[in-house]
Structure 1
């Protein structure tokens, strides 16, 4: 369950540190009028909230954009496109398998294992999820089997539904 155990206001210095991690302009996301807080869950995960909505997961000194963050700032992450048949499995909680990816260079960007990506359905405007790349482009094209992207956050999960 996504239950916060502690909640603290976020300092301006930390907001500046988050902005420094990304090349995309985050002023719309981390504006002066927004209330930014950190929470820790029972599972010892840490998140940054904007107006009580989770927008980043904290992993060490790295800030991982969550789905609602990607909806506000779509260019914050590289975009990966999945075929229509993979969407229902993704929404139901499955990791993204290699056969579900569209493999042209326009739909599968040059990403490395460990990169964070936004996941979009073919023909869809908004992201369906955020995940960590488990296979690079070459592996996806040669193996065509196995988990290509491990899902961090998706439409309808406990993090997305918080607030």
Structure 2
């Protein structure tokens, strides 16, 4: 999604009613984030909307992108938010062999999630298809990718082939570089 540098076509201030709606959507999508939502997105702070190409909306606070959304899809956290609050997001882990492909912008294939060194949640913690997940890498402290599951974690374990997670944002991509400028 952000393989190239992100160019914005303008920044607008978001009305407080829309901002409340965004906070509510974020809390519904990531219930574990609710206890710290005031730290992430303070009620009195002014949230900005930055429009990026391909109908991508970036939600920023003090010129720091916090979340992004493609058209009307799910709202996704920026990796910096995931690094600050890792316990608030559903997470899967890939093996070491998948890291270089992820950082090159590739989609995450099922074998990278099922091999030794990778971790998927136990059956009772199944994450459904379409869920936004943070991707940790074997031996690394912080998440290296944000993606959308193309199949449930149970199906990934059973099938063990094909595209498991769509790569939406990764370390070193255009969104990551935009935020560090």
TM-score bracket relative to the smaller structure: 0.7 to 0.9
- Cα offsets for 1:14-55 (capped at 9, x unmatched): 332232221222111112575521011233321111221222
Gaps of at least 5 residues in structure 1 are none
Q: Which aligned pairs between 1:1-163 and structure 2 lie closer than 5 A?
A: 1-21=5-25, 22=27, 23=31, 24=33, 25-31=36-42, 34-58=45-69, 59-60=71-72, 62-101=74-113, 102-105=118-121, 109-163=125-179
Q: CA deviation at 1:126?
A: 1.2
Structure 2: how far apart are the matches of 1:50 and 1:127?
Answer: 22
Q: What is the aligned-residue RMSD (CA, Å)?
A: 2.2
Structure 1 or 2: more helix by fraction = 2
Q: CA deviation at 1:139?
A: 2.1
Moved over 4 A (4+): 32-35
State TM-score, norm by structure 2: 0.79
Higher relative contact order (CA 8 A, sep 6+): 2
State TM-score, norm by structure 1: 0.87
Gaps of at least 5 residues in structure 2 are none
Structure 1 or 2: more strand by fraction = 1
Q: Is the 8 A contact 1:128 1:155 kept in 2?
A: yes
